[in-house]
Amino acid sequence: MLKGIPAILSPELLKVLCEMGHGDRFVISDGNFPAESMGKNAIVIRLDGHGVPELLDAVLKVFPLDTYTQKPVNLMEVMPGDKVETPIWETYKEIISKYDARGEKAVGCIERFAFYEEAKTAYAVVATSEKALYANIMLQKGVVAEE
């Protein structure tokens, strides 16, 4: 065990986060996301029994967001005609604001099918049991600055 590392971050997941370089992208998916088919060229990690917010909070404790792009965090846009509420997005913005000074300005939206295409190029996909709809989130890694 290690001190200061959230228990939800398994050794496998920590290794993947550490291996990622500047600009690599990482998807935290909800329970409906086709993680295995979208992640054919990525590392897919199952994190059943957990939701996206708790994982997002843990990841951002150790994962710097890219400062060279305006929107290093992207959500899957709700399809026109879908009558879906996305209160989980506000939770995401609160979590992101704890770790990045840009707060919700660091968050963008990508059209559903474009999100899938971007997810196919991600370094890793973590599949959660999140039940909220449109709860998928993509993070782009930045650099760890010298303190």
Whichever domain contains 82, its CATH number is 3.40.1650.10
Residue at 1 is within a domain: no
- Catalytic residue of the set 66, 92, 123, 134: 66
Number of domains in the chain: 1
Cα–Cα distance list, 120 to 13, 16, 44, 70, 73 (Å): 18, 16, 11, 21, 16
Residue at 2 is within a domain: no
Annotated catalytic residue 100: no
Which residue shows structure tokens 């939800």?
8
Residue at 5 is within a domain: no
Distance (Å, whole) CA 2 – CA 125: 24
Residue at 99 is within a domain: yes
Q: What is the span of the domain harbouring residue 80?
A: 11-140
pLDDT value at position 146? 67
Residue 9 tokens read as: 């971050």
Taking only the tens of pLDDT, the chain with its 147 residues reads: 788 999 999 999 999 999 999 999 999 999 999 999 999 999 999 999 999 999 999 999 999 999 999 999 999 999 999 999 999 999 999 999 999 999 999 999 999 999 999 999 999 999 999 999 999 999 999 998 766
Annotated catalytic residue 22: yes
Whole-prediction pTM: 0.95
Annotated catalytic residue 134: no
Distance (Å, whole) CA 144 – CA 142: 7
Q: Which H or E run contains 89?
A: helix 88-99
